[in-house]
């Protein structure tokens, strides 16, 4: 065993029973103030998941005075230095990282990253950026503090049981369901544009669904649920993995398939004999969609726990739970199979159900509870010497997981990187779901947007945008890059 590494890993943990609890204190720090704070407390050398590798590095362009350590720790003046060291040790040698994000209706998500370490038992350290470019360090967090925080986020809901169309969804099916809600919401509010003498059902078409998808990709409007959820997913950071991952785009083929499936199960009905057909939502689906028109808030917990060490790399397990808080109920969305997904979510399954406030707090408590009876090797806590790359663990089925009815097959390979070959002319251009002039254009693409040409069919061009959305355009008008 490496005696030096072991000593670094266990510094400040000789009396874990004295670790403080209760509500967290907050330390406001500038980037240049992390290094003197770490040196004063004698924290261990940063481990593989520690943010201190970057935050405590020398800052050459620091602005403003660096305060004395005593001023930084004035909230902890009544505590011994050893106790403060214990409280902040998870920041140096974490074996678990939880991204906790909340978003009020029509507001940007706020982030707090939580660091935990089995070397410090139940103590958790929170770190979040401030609007002025600094940081807030919150410690000592306890699991009970987190439970109280979750309760504050979900308490404004009535928490009633509600019907829902699906309890288990693939990532593709979840993306369609959210886009369908947005399409129905748009059609519903448009129905108020003029007065009418008799009731007319609110309907959606395939074109409406695709327009809702395009709007979510093109316009950052957080009032619509598809964009709000996608934004939360995209802001998740996988230590050693990718960022910007989100639900797959809803293509015309996916939307048509899902509408047919919903029609077969009775969740939508055709209204009239128009072509393309219009669909009226049944009571279950309309009730589900209606609760999401003006949701109160979103709360996501994204958890990465180290479970071992193999071939020189830490092995981690990854999970996510998302609460959509509405006045009637709390919609809980739990991931299954996220650990191996990374950028490709084709094999991820999501459990969805309506729960009450108490049950939501219980779900969060179980989710935040660390994996029991797990002993990690000392290599996990060794100082980081190179960029960390996590090896993913086999998915675990816990009390929150909703395993699929059959084994989850491996997903297809990830799509190739976007390589722009053409751009949209300065005046913009229309886009279609298929190379058919009889179809109605589904949207317009802004001018000068870069595209990648996939194929040509006569005067038509099949293109893909940088966000992964593909469509058909007039191939005679796109401009080749470099000409």
The answer to whether the CB of 98 falls within 8 A of the CB of 301 is yes
Least confidently predicted of 64-68, 221-225, 386-390: 386-390
Integer Cα distance of 208 and 79 in angstroms? 60
Give the pLDDT score at 385.
62
Q: How confident is the model at residue 324 (pLDDT cuts 50, 70, 90)?
A: very high
On average, the pLDDT of the chain sits at 80
Q: How confident is the model at residue 15 (pLDDT cuts 50, 70, 90)?
A: very low
Q: How confident is the model at residue 378 (pLDDT cuts 50, 70, 90)?
A: confident
The answer to whether the CB of 461 falls within 8 A of the CB of 429 is no
CATH number of 422-480: 2.30.30.40
298 has pLDDT over 90: yes
Give the pLDDT score at 25.
83
pLDDT digits (tens, 9 = 90+) for 326-357: 999 999 999 888 877 766 788 889 999 999 99
Residues of the chain with CATH 2.30.30.40: 422-480
Which runs of consecutive H residues, i.e. helices, occur in 303-434? 357-368
In percent, the amount of the chain with pLDDT more than 90 equals 32
Give the pLDDT score at 4.
34
Integer Cα distance of 216 and 185 in angstroms? 13
242 has pLDDT over 70: no
Specify the length of the chain in residues. Answer: 483
Look up the pTM and report it: 0.74
In percent, the amount of the chain with pLDDT more than 70 equals 83
Give the pLDDT score at 377.
86
Position with higher pLDDT, 17 vs 292: 292
Most confidently modeled range among 126-135, 170-179, 339-348: 170-179
- Describe the chain by its helix, strand, coil percentages, rounded to 5: 30, 25, 45
446 has pLDDT over 90: no
Q: How confident is the model at residue 467 (pLDDT cuts 50, 70, 90)?
A: low
61 has pLDDT over 70: no
Integer Cα distance of 186 and 208 in angstroms? 9
Give the pLDDT score at 327.
94
Give the pLDDT score at 47.
86
Integer Cα distance of 328 and 354 in angstroms? 9
């Amino acid at each position: 065993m490496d005696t030096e590494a072991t000593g670094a890993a266990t510094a400040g943990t000789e009396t874990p029973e004295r670790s403080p609890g209760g509500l967290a204190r907050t330390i406001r720090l500038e980037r240049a103030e992390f290094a003197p704070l770490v040196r004063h407390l004698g924290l261990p050398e940063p481990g593989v998941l520690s943010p201190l590798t970057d935050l405590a590095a020398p800052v050459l362009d620091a602005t403003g005075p660096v305060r004395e350590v005593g001023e930084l720790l004035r909230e902890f003046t009544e505590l011994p230095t050893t106790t403060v060291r214990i409280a902040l040790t998870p920041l140096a040698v974490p074996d678990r990282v939880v991204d906790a994000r909340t978003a009020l209706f029509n507001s940007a998500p706020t982030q707090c990253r939580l660091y935990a370490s089995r070397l410090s038992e139940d103590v958790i350290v929170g770190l979040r950026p401030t609007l002025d470019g600094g940081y807030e360090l919150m410690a000592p967090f306890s699991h009970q503090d987190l439970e109280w925080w979750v309760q504050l986020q979900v308490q404004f809901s009535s928490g009633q049981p509600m019907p829902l169309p699906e309890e288990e969804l693939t990532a593709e099916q979840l993306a369609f369901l959210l886009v369908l809600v947005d399409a129905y919401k748009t059609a519903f509010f448009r129905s108020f544009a003029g007065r009418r003498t008799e009731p007319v059902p609110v309907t959606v078409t395939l074109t409406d669904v695709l327009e809702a998808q395009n709007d979510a990709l093109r316009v950052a409007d957080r009032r619509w649920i598809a964009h709000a959820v996608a934004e939360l997913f995209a802001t998740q950071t996988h230590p050693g993995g990718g960022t910007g991952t989100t639900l797959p785009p809803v293509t015309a083929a996916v939307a048509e398939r899902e509408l047919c499936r919903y029609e077969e199960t009775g969740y939508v009905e055709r209204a009239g004999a128009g072509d393309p057909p219009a669909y009226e939502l049944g009571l279950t689906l309309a009730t589900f969609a209606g609760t999401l028109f003006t949701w109160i808030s979103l709360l996501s917990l994204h958890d990465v726990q180290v479970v071992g060490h193999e071939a020189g790399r830490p092995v981690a397990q990854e999970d996510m739970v998302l609460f959509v808080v509405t006045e009637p109920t709390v919609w809980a969305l739990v991931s299954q199979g996220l650990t191996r997904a990374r950028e490709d979510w084709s094999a991820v399954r999501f459990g969805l159900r309506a729960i009450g406030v108490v049950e939501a707090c219980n779900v969060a408590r179980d989710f935040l509870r660390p994996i029991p009876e797990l002993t990690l090797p000392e290599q996990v806590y060794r100082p980081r010497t190179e960029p960390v790359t996590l090896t993913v663990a086999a998915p675990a089925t816990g009390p929150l997981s909703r395993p699929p009815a059959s084994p989850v097959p491996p997903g297809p390979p990830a799509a190739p990187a976007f390589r722009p070959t053409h751009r949209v002319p300065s005046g913009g251009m229309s886009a279609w779901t298929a190379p058919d002039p009889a179809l109605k254009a589904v949207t317009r693409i802004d001018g000068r947007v870069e595209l990648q040409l996939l194929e040509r069919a006569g005067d038509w061009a099949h293109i893909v945008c940088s966000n992964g959305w593909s469509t058909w355009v007039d191939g005679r008008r796109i401009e080749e890059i470099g000409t």
